[in-house]
Chain A
Amino acid sequence: MKKFDYFKPKTLDEALTLFSKYGEKARLIAGGTDVIVMIKQKAMAPDVLISLQGISGLDQIKSNGTLSIGPMVTHRAIEKSEIIRKNFSALTDAADYLGSVQIRNVATIGGNICTAAPSADTATPLLVLGTRIKIKSLKKERDISIEEFFKGPGETMLEPGEIVQELLIPKLLPNTGSAYYKLQRRLALDLPLLGVSVLLSLDKDKITCSDMLCTASPISSILHKMEEDNVVCKEVRIALGVAAPTPWRAAKAEGLLRGKKLSDELLEEAAETAAIEAQPRDTVRGEAWYRRDMIKVMVKRMAMKSIERVIQPEATVFPERLW
């Protein structure tokens, strides 16, 4: 492996000073599960690595209405967080099946979004959860929405010298459920063929068909019941990964559902719209037509999983109960 020097600053300001001093010669390193692999593969060749591991306070999950996640929080810590499992379930789904235990013990959420792979597991959950990102440099601090954060494959809008300081998830509406599905060929150590996150907020917490959600009833009969119940979708967010150059929100599909009464036909139409909006590519991992077909299937299933989670926040995505 290429030689580099290694700094382990104790404060964020010290890290920012080093980062601006060495500029392009330096790379920040969080868990290093991407950076070290990229150095080994000669995809990057920094002279200096600035580790953020020595800075205290960046690895905290705090909740006081708004959920604050430090950039150095590991995927393992997210996977184990009860607050996140109950209220921001899509993020648990993503953390739980990223890499392996060994990777999750080290890899951080800040690193995951800053590497900005189109397949980043935490990206689409953070998109549907309406995350804001606090960024700091020596000159200024700013706060942007995660939708503006991703610019292209491996590219973010971070300017030279900037460090992600905090991820903030605002309080969600009552009766909200969310879910992320990672479509992959094996259940561990795989990159997604497709990542689908959905968040749904309903106008009521009592649904007469709630029992059916936990049975093997067909999706259409559950939705038929829901239609009779006049369940209105107050808020909806749909985000897709590996379906465009960056993780993104399917705005047209969301527009069809927002404020409307839920029905089988409407959900079908929204899922189809998301598939049409998407710009998947043919890659070694899968072909575009297949990704498009699966968007249609998975958006609907994750919408159902979100509804199930309004009633049962602990319902799991794997092993599959996929309607």
Chain B
Amino acid sequence: MPTLQDVKENESMKQIIMFNLNGESIEVEMEPHLTLLQLLRDKLELTGTKEGCSMGECGACTVLVDGKAVNSCILPAMEVDGKSVTTIEGLTDTQGNLHPIQKAFIEYGAVQCGFCSPGMVLSAKALLDENPKPTEEEIRHGIAGNLCRCTGYLQIVQAIKAASGQL
């Protein structure tokens, strides 16, 4: 285990973590102060996950960790060691077909500028995995942590309803 002296002498002392990323086991050597978002975008070059406020308020950086939606911008990457992470890149099936939630977002015009979409789709997935037939109120409560400045949310709520087979 490193001592504080080591830390001072070598500030960028790296640590190794292993986790499952979109179905594949990977091992990464990284500086321990990185957030999961920095690891995904800057090191692993998965830029589907967006950086918005970077303070855990807008939800643009939402990814799934062990199936649960989290803000990757304030999650230390060290915490995904041994866990499974799903980003928007991992949502298509092996043939490259879009996930039903993504198809519904397109069909219902739930995407405008698109910046909130990766996070919004993943929040919707976490919601529907847990509660396959949510009410409108449950949908709104479930995506409350994802800000969208374009759509006014109506199309997004409709798309999620449609994806859950309720429209």
Contact = CB atoms under 8 A, between A and B. Distances in A.
Interface in B22-36: 31-33, 35
Given A6-B78, A101-B126, A101-B142, A36 B35 contact: yes
Contacts of A216: none
A-B pairs with lowest CB-CB distance, top 10: A100-B145, A188-B144, A6-B32, A36-B74, A105-B68, A102-B71, A5-B7, A3-B33, A102-B145, A6-B78
B89 interface: no
B70 to A, nearest CB: 5
A33 B1 contact: no
Contact of B79 (A2, A32, A76): A32
Contact of B33 (A6, A37, A76, A189): A6
A41 B59 CA distance: 18
Interface in A48-75: 48-49, 51, 53
Given A6-B76, A41-B55, A103-B71, 18 more contacts: A2-B33, A4-B33, A5-B7, A5-B13, A6-B15, A6-B33, A32-B79, A33-B71, A36-B56, A40-B55, A100-B144, A102-B70, A102-B145, A105-B68, A105-B69, A106-B75, A187-B144, A189-B144
Nearest to B6: A5
Interface string A32-48: 11001100110000011
18 contacts: A2-B33, A6-B76, A6-B78, A7-B1, A36-B75, A37-B56, A41-B55, A48-B4, A100-B144, A100-B146, A101-B69, A101-B123, A101-B142, A101-B143, A101-B144, A102-B59, A102-B70, A189-B145
Contact of B76 (A21, A37, A51, A102): A51
Contacts of A25: 4
B2 interface: yes
B33 A48 contact: no
A201 B17 CA distance: 51
Contacts of B143: 101
A99 B74 CA distance: 13
A290 interface: no
Interface string A222-252: 0000000000000000000000000000000
A289 interface: no
Contacts of B4: 5, 21-22, 25, 47-48
Contacts of A48: 4, 7
Interface string B119-160: 000010011000000000100011111100000000000000
B82 to A, nearest CB: 9
A189 to B, nearest CB: 6
B78 A102 contact: no
A188 B74 contact: no
B78 A188 contact: no
B57 interface: yes
B12 A3 contact: yes
Contacts, number: 100
A9 to B, nearest CB: 9
Interface residues of B, number: 40
Contacts of B49: none
A250 B31 CA distance: 48
Contacts of B65: 105
Interface string B60-75: 0010010011110011
A284 interface: no
Interface of B: 1-2, 4, 7-8, 11-13, 15, 31-33, 35, 54-57, 59, 62, 65, 68-71, 74-76, 78-79, 81, 123, 126-127, 137, 141-146
Contact of A99 (B1, B75, B145): B145
B31 A3 contact: yes
Given A7-B1, A188-B144, A51 B79 contact: yes
A105 B70 contact: yes
B54 A102 contact: no
A189 B32 CA distance: 28
B76 A188 contact: no
Nearest to A1: B33
Given A76-B68, A102-B59, A105-B68, A4 B74 contact: no
A106 B11 CA distance: 27
A22 B126 CA distance: 38
Nearest to A100: B145
